Structure 1
């Protein structure tokens, strides 16, 4: 099932995120130390460089690590740290192959509760608790994946009507609101650290 996603702010990249559970997982994995749009454009760039319409966990997991790192490092690089991110993407895909037969959607399809979904996501390489919570919020708010207790499992990111994370981005306006929220949170943290 396809979903209308506007995280990359680029039609082809967003279309891939809307139809490919693996692309969504990889985009979320890449979402650190780069602008959100760049992170979520990453899966599309990787697919293009592999000469594919979509991503395949089996193919990526089996890819030669040096060649895959080179693929992500080619200009423009997929991420600020393409080598380490190439390794993480391959580790994620290997975990999906080992635990879910390469089917990214199986991570959430079989979760009976939000707590179980949080545990499943948190066990994936590159997914700490916060990233897992944000992804649960994204699944619930934009992909219609809502096991009982999903909002609670997502923590603050599950709140309705907030602009806290990628889960709340549906276009340029909400992207600007999320950016503004993140800037304010950063400034508040700096102020608190200075006072402490």
Structure 2
């Protein structure tokens, strides 16, 4: 993955997300109940504490030591312990099922996986449900040029051109604010019902 992402407003964190697909998957995993950009800084915090970000190193770490590393202030998430265990499980899954190569989730197989298959593989990741998988698929398509057949349909509304629904649409501080406004309006509409 070589496209330059601008998800966090922090150069080192964005560079890691741009260069390491596992870090990007971890950022997406952490993206719940905290601001989006804070979630996506989590992988950089892990990298700083582990002398680099390495899926195998995480997967082979002692779980309790890894949790301690993740909860040390500033923690990777407001629920640092439970999220550290999810990150650990995600990394183990990627090592066990994709030999540590996260790009295989959207590239491996003959024929190449289509959008629905990539979505299915993403939903099988620990900590990923339907919505998180659709958002990540949209992120791949919109910002990485990963376009398996039917990806937009599989991503649902998150794949819509010009939308401002999720982290998949954040390419600048302005679009971050537009996504925040969309989420706020959606929550307000849900409360009004």
* TM-score category of the 2 structures, normalised to the smaller one: over 0.9
2:28 corresponds in structure 1 to: 28
1:18-167 equivalences in 2 (<5 Å): 18-52=18-52, 55-110=53-108, 111-167=112-168
Structure 1 ranges of 4+ moved more than 2 A: none
CA distance in 1, matches of 2:14, 2:58: 20
Return the offset for 1:90.
Answer: 0.6
Question: What is the CA deviation profile of residues 154-177 of structure 1, one whole-angstrom value per residue up to 9, with x for unaligned ones?
Answer: 000000001000000001000000
1:186 corresponds in structure 2 to: 187
CA RMSD of aligned residues (A): 0.8
Question: What is the CA deviation profile of residues 67-117 of structure 1, one whole-angstrom value per residue up to 9, with x for unaligned ones?
Answer: 111111111111010000010001001111111001111111125200000
Return the offset for 1:51.
Answer: 1.1
CA distance in 2, matches of 1:138, 1:148: 15
Return the offset for 1:58.
Answer: 1.3
Equivalent residue pairs, number: 190
For structure 2, the 5+ residue unaligned runs are none
TM-score for both structures, normalised by structure 2:
0.97
Return the offset for 1:120.
Answer: 0.4
Segment drifting more, 181-190 vs 1-10: 1-10
CA distance in 1, matches of 2:39, 2:2: 20
For structure 1, the 5+ residue unaligned runs are none
| Other structure's SS at 1:33 match | coil
